[in-house]
Amino acid sequence: MNYKKVYSFLLCAAFCLSVCAEVNYQVIPLPQQVSFDKSGQYMILSKGMTVSYPAGNALMQRNAEFAAEYMGLTVKPKDKKQADVNLMLGLKSKNPDDYAISINKKGITIQGASESGVFYGIQTLRKSIMNETGEIRLPYAWVCGSPRFAYRGTELDCARHFFPVAFIKKFIDILALHGINRFHWHLTDDQGWRFEVKALPELAQKASVRPCTVIGKNLGLSDPDNTLYDDTPETGYYTQEEMRDIVAYAAERYITIVPEIDLPGHMIAALSVYPDLGCTGGPYKVWSIWGVADDVLCAGNPKTLEFLKTVYGELCDVFPSKLIHIGGDESPRVRWKSCPKCQAKMKELDLKNEAQLQTYINKEMEAFLAERGRQIIGWDETLEGGLSENAAVMSWRGYDGGKAAAKLHHQVVMTPHNNCYFDYYQLKNRDAQPLGIGGYLPLSKVYAMEPVPEELTKEEAKYIMGVQCNLWSEYVISPDHAEFMLLPRLAAMSEVQWLKPEEKDYEQFLQRLPALEQIYRRLGYKFCTSYE
């Protein structure tokens, strides 16, 4: 036996194994179909290959630029010469986000039902190869993906703690990586106003400033004398120019920003600048504690609607989203009960209770926004006084609000806190993780969520348009902290948003998760490395 030849063969084989990688397309969110060609052949991906797009389509050109960035390709418009990677429209599907990837001897074709579908196909291929080094082998295959829900959302609270523009863009990139297409941006609250209103310049300038913040767990309302504060001011707001830039950045990644200006509660920051809009006249100051304030906008003051229409008018100028979030949650009505203006308005409108007074405001804003081609969405408290005609509902206090709205044939986004609040702790051992607001939401519980309650009829179930996870920032004080709370739970949420119940398998998901976590490392994302 020629041992030198045997040794050389083994050495060569070991070298090939170390520099050759064959991908399996088992990414997160999981494609609905991965069918390998029986021939066992593969395509070798290498730098210098070309990616083509239909000439004259700016969105597809941007898709091609993303593909080139992700995979080391060269962009060219489609011509007679076949490219190595071809981006195409024309996939026959009613779902615009559907995609199909074909890898065969002719090259790679990524086809979408629309430009967004092509983008998601690119992301799937990107995640398939991103961890590989050396020679990357793409087995001949047919890979298809189709999201279950049209609305796939994630919320970020920038009112309690302000996050810089650079992080907002990074956050958007994280959403895009996970196939998420709605960014619910919480811009105002009792603890800070982050949206510039040009007609009311003092609003953001003054209401964005909080002189200090309660330290650790909040005592505030229950024990104000023993509440400790830091000595660090919280400041910052987004100019309209910055927000337009962010809107454009998100749109390139097929993410629609749904802005939220909360009303009529969570308005202490605004009232600190315009105290006459409150029932008592103040004085008010930007809150440094957490909780629910009794002071809200005065529903009987005509200036209140003037103020709201000014604010939301400019909001519509900045954000093209059809859905505009009006909040509506945690708005006590105790001030309205003793306010002469509010009681007079109730008598004028022949309202039976204060909950209907809130619905009156909602209807006024719905009509105002409808004139601009917009639709309101609010938290499930908006059901209490009767929903306005075309309002959508975001169900956070459980599933009941969503079920009630769907039975009334109103669109619903399910975001029950027990499955979707990412400010909750990820691990049972609270000392092993950054501070959270409380609660316990492990990765497994996120994955187990089923957004469509079985009590709904087939017709009612059609009104569940989507699912959303929320990252509130009372105790989330930095970008690194935000990423840690988000990841990898966002990966589980993405499969809830993309896959039907019968397509989900938690144990199999855990087998695919390490590859995604390696991508997190390569991209510099912070994430929780343990999960339960």
**Residues recognised as catalytic:** 189, 266, 330
Identify the DSSP state of 83: P
The candidate with the shortest Cα–Cα distance to 66, out of 21, 16, 127, is 127
Q: Is the Cα dihedral 405, 408, 412, 414 positive or negative?
A: positive
Phi, then psi, of 45 in degrees rounded to 5: -90, 130
**Which of 502, 528, 497 minimizes the C-alpha distance to 513?**
528
> Regarding beta strands 20-22 and 135-139, do their DSSP bridges make them parallel or antiparallel, or are they unpaired?
parallel
Any residues with CB less than 8 A from the CB of 255 and at least 6 apart, and which? Answer: 172, 175, 176, 180, 181, 182, 183
Q: Single out the residue of 64, 60, 62 nearest to residue 51, CA to CA.
A: 64
**One-letter amino acid of 57:** N
Judge contact between 401 and 408, C-beta under 8 A: no
Assign 170 to helix, strand or coil.
helix
Determine the Cα–Cα distance for residues 215 and 213; give it in Å rounded to an integer. Answer: 6
Rg (CA), the chain: 26
- Which burial class, exposed, middle or buried, applies to 10 when counting CB atoms under 10 A from its CB (0-12, 13-18, 19+)? exposed
Q: Which residue has the tokens 């239909």?
A: 54
| Cα distances (Å, whole numbers) of residue 443 to 171, 446, 523 | 20, 5, 21
CA dihedral (312, 473, 471, 241) positive or negative:
positive
How many CB atoms lie under 10 A from the CB of residue 398?
14
Query: Using CA atoms, how far apart are residues 354 and 331, in angstroms rounded to an integer?
Result: 11
Give the number of residues written for the chain: 532
Cα–Cα distance, 327 to 189 (Å, whole number) = 10
Query: In angstroms, rounded to a whole number, what is the distance separating the alpha carbons of residues 521 and 318?
Result: 34
Helix (H) or strand (E) holding 115: helix 115-129
Q: How far apart are CA 386 and CA 357, in angstroms?
A: 10
What does DSSP assign to residue 188?
A: E
Look at the block and give the residue holding tokens 């009311």.
200
Cβ(284)–Cβ(278) below 8 Å: yes
Residue 124 φ/ψ, nearest 5 degrees: -65, -45
Q: How far apart are the first and last CA of the chain?
A: 54
